[in-house]
Amino acid sequence: MLAASPLIARVAAVGDRRPYIVALVVLDPDAAAFFAAQHGISDPSPRLLASHTAACAAVAAAVKTATSTLPRAEQIKRFTILPVLWQPGDDEITPTMKLRRRAVAAKYADAIESMYATSGMPLSGAYMEVQPGDWKQQARNRRLEE
């Protein structure tokens, strides 16, 4: 998924013993500054970009592109852009750049649970639901025709 967008620095996928896969996304600080300049955003901080509509749309497009070739059960259904940066040696990343899954799951448990607790249409702000194409709209149109 990192190759799908330079805006994404890190992704932690969560889905073990869950109904679907969700992801915690951390923005790249350099790409975030460039993205902010391109979109006329004065503050390129992760805190602001995590809830900015254009950044959420860019990440959603990258998630959809990166997971489109995977089986549906392995695709990311929802994601959260975290308003923080993960640095090597911090709680989330080891000095050798490996993800500390248990620490991430514990520290961001509320964000993870909120992605599973919410259902329905795409979420606003930092929480987004990845739409799998337009098959839902086609199904609605078929129901209306019947």
Confidence bin at 99 (pLDDT 50/70/90): very high
Quote the strand ranges of 19-138, DSSP E: 21-27, 76-81, 127-129
- The DSSP call for residue 93 is B
**How confident is the model at residue 124, as a pLDDT?**
35
**How confident is the model at residue 100, as a pLDDT?**
94
Checking if the pLDDT of 136 tops 50, the result is no
Inter-axis angle of helices 53-67 and 29-38, to 10 degrees?
120
Average pLDDT over residues 45-56: 89
The angle subtended at Cα 144 by Cα 140 and Cα 146, nearest 5°, is 120
Q: Which pTM value belongs to this model? A: 0.78
Dihedral in degrees, nearest 10, Cα atoms 88, 91, 92, 97: 30
**How confident is the model at residue 12, as a pLDDT?**
94
Q: Residue 11: in which H helix or E strand, if any?
A: strand 8-14
By CB neighbour count within 10 A (0-12 exposed, 13-18 middle, 19+ buried), where does 95 fall? exposed
Checking if the pLDDT of 107 tops 70, the result is yes
Checking if the pLDDT of 128 tops 80, the result is no
Q: Residue 12: in which H helix or E strand, if any?
A: strand 8-14
Checking if the pLDDT of 121 tops 70, the result is no
Joined tokens for residue 48:
């602001």
Average pLDDT over residues 36-47: 90
